[in-house]
Structure 1
Amino acid sequence: MTQQTLLLGQTFEARGNPMTTPWEEVITVNSGGAVLIEAGRISDLGDARLLRRAYPDATVHDYGHHLICPGFVDAHVHYPQTAIIASWGKQLIDWLNTYTFPEEMRLSDPAYAQAIAARYLELALDHGTTTMCSYATIHPGSVDAFFTAAGARGLRTVAGKTCMDRNAPEGLRDTAQSAYDDSKTLLERWHGQGRASYAITPRFSPTSTSEQLSALGALWAEHPDCLMQTHLSEQLPEIAWVRDLFPAARDYLDTYEAHGMVGPRAVYGHAIHLEPREKDRIAEAGAALVHCPTSNTFIGSGLMDVAGLAARRIPLGLATDTGGGSSFSMLHTMAAAYEIAQLRGTALHPAQLLWLATAGSARSLHLHGQIGTLVPGQEADITILDLASTPAIAQRSSAANDIWEAVFPTIMMGDDRAIADVWIKGAKRVAMEPAPG
């Protein structure tokens, strides 16, 4: 007989997109809920009293008033930048030259790449993140290190070799041909193996020639079930640079579109300073945009128009953008998203913030059929939130008039102490010792 596990607590249940439909119509929290897990998947969801009676032999984990959520999904990270997170004082181009590129050079050493991959994944799991979409470096071994470490932990992940053939230091440049060849080899090795998915990954237009973008666009056309991830319109000086490098392009997005890199499985990080044509084309293509609020403020990029883009029904994800982002925590990221939306005149509801960090990000990565919601048939990646994890949070949540007033302090002030437990494909997480590095 298949082992049954029953998690009891308050269950966060999403039946639709609260960014396009009133959240009250599609998001609920069952204060006496339960999730049944069998064979690594959610097999039932409902009232604890009824499910305990229906499955008397299930192993029970009673989380009391903790919130049972889908595992957090971080839709845009750079795991190679783990060691340089929270480095002082640079905007995008200087950040790359001063911090990112020297650190990424170090991942040419397979042992160092393995150590950083393990360190990053343990930090992410400490903060309740069970799926992430990561850039690697130009080194194929950095991709192998990430997927190997993720596989050892049973994680569903997306990643790809970062491709750059110009405007990067010697040792971090490939070519149009080697980018194609390496990416194809890695794609064939990892895509669909276990819980791994491959993303074709040009860093961004300034570090790829037209020849390289064309080669990667051709590879994507050959493997359209893969994602294609890159950056778009993060900072104004970057956009001006793109205009100089691609004088014939209509706008930044056109530097990708001209090379076959716009489509429904495209995932663009940041997308802060979009032109009207770009918004129209992204919406038409069904491509996804990923909001990176801590990064956008930390390196001074700008304020993404989340509400306006959501109104266009553009798929939206949420991301820490480690290490330009200043935290590994999706709770911190939700708090930053709330604050940025306030500056733009919109108060995102806690239900919307939790949805963006789970189902929204899963949808942006085309993983919504597998993860992101507490729905029977989904893989059982689950994060348990303690809504009274610190004295400051507890005193506020104890005075709450409803569940959302109880949840919101954890979103705004929570950290890894709020993560009571993490379940990975139906198994309770056991922390692994990161490799020395």
Structure 2
Amino acid sequence: MRKVLIANRGEIARRIIRTCKAESIATVAVYSDADRDMPFVREADEAVHIGPPPVPHSYLNVENIIQAAKSTGADAIHPGYGLLSENESFARRVKEEGLVFIGPTPEVIGQMGDKLTARRVMQEAGVPVVPGCEDPLETADEAASVAASIGYPVMLKASAGGGGIGMQICRNEESLRQAYQSLRGRAKAYFGSDAMFVEKYIERPHHIEVQIAGDSHGTVVHLLERECSIQRRHQKVLEESPSPFLDPATREQLCQAAVQAAKAVGYTGVGTVEFIVDENKNFYFLEMNTRLQVEHPVTEEMTGLDLVSMQLSIARGEPLSIGQADVQAKRHAIELRVYAEDPVTFLPSPGTIALYQPPDMEHVRIDDGVESGAQVTPFYDPMIAKVIVSGQTRGEAVERAIAAMQNFQITGIKTNIPFLQEVLVDERFREGNYTTWFVQERAAKSNS
């Protein structure tokens, strides 16, 4: 592997470039008109313009990306996360062009990209799944029948969905029927498929995911878990590892279930198996993300491993350089996602960043994609930085996170930094006693 084209942008492109440089692998960036002056474009060894700002014409333009790889002599493509990272047809096209796709096989991407298929595969593998339907729903009547059989509340979901889009909690038949039509339309628009399914909604759950890595020689290891329960609109804003909720026995069972899930599909690459965990520590398979996660630095800081380096090694066909016994929780790590958004409504806040000054502190890692003067446009996700802190204990990591956010200066746009600061000093968070309802419950308390 001599040259890698990065089919992504922003902070994840910079993150991949760093590891490639450390391993003497040349990099190619692709960029839209809106990103022409962004840091990732300058930091790559080469950069190719691929189109106007809207993602269908640039970062989702498969032909332009393939042509950029060919014209620069790249022999591999790293998709990052989001965009084309879990696109089965893109992964297959990359391979057909004689290039290395840095990720799992197209077949695994397709299998795990459909949530109903993934449910069936996990059930057959003996991995616990949430009670629900096994086939796509054809009508609202079918949805109501399934919901009645498993009991309300239920979660109505798009089978091809992800990222918190295309799902709704329904607490009675009336709300289920109302949601059915609107969610079908949204699913068709976002994912190209209106297939829907229903599963039991777990009240006050924890969202806990397990990082896994599998090579082409049949070895799969887990890299422990991440607690991802602090979310707004079903999207994560803070992650930490180890989870303050799990006991050692449940942690071992959960991580082994993730390995079992990965082996069931012959997983090659770095990926994540996500679980819903109820208040009694019963856990259920949620989905498998066949890519690098936004929150992968939490695992890196906690274990001391470089996940991008592992991806590159696996893609070259090399066996994993570590065994399960080598994976240890050396530190406690926390990641905070800094978004260009209103800290109360969480609505995006595009504009020009007048001043961008992240904290420069020991044990604080900044993964970002912007600088002073950069434009935050409405074309892309409004996340502008990730602050990853670590400590010997959870308490030490929390205190460092508080200090880091106090020393993060951004002017010219609204950010969610005030919200993150409030989360860090919240008593429930300090005690590690929080669920996916943390944000809603906090808002309800402040409005009462």
TM-score normalized by the length of structure 2: 0.28
TM-score by length of 1: 0.28
Structure scoring higher RCO (CA < 8 A, sep ≥ 6) equals: 1
* Larger proportion of helix: 1
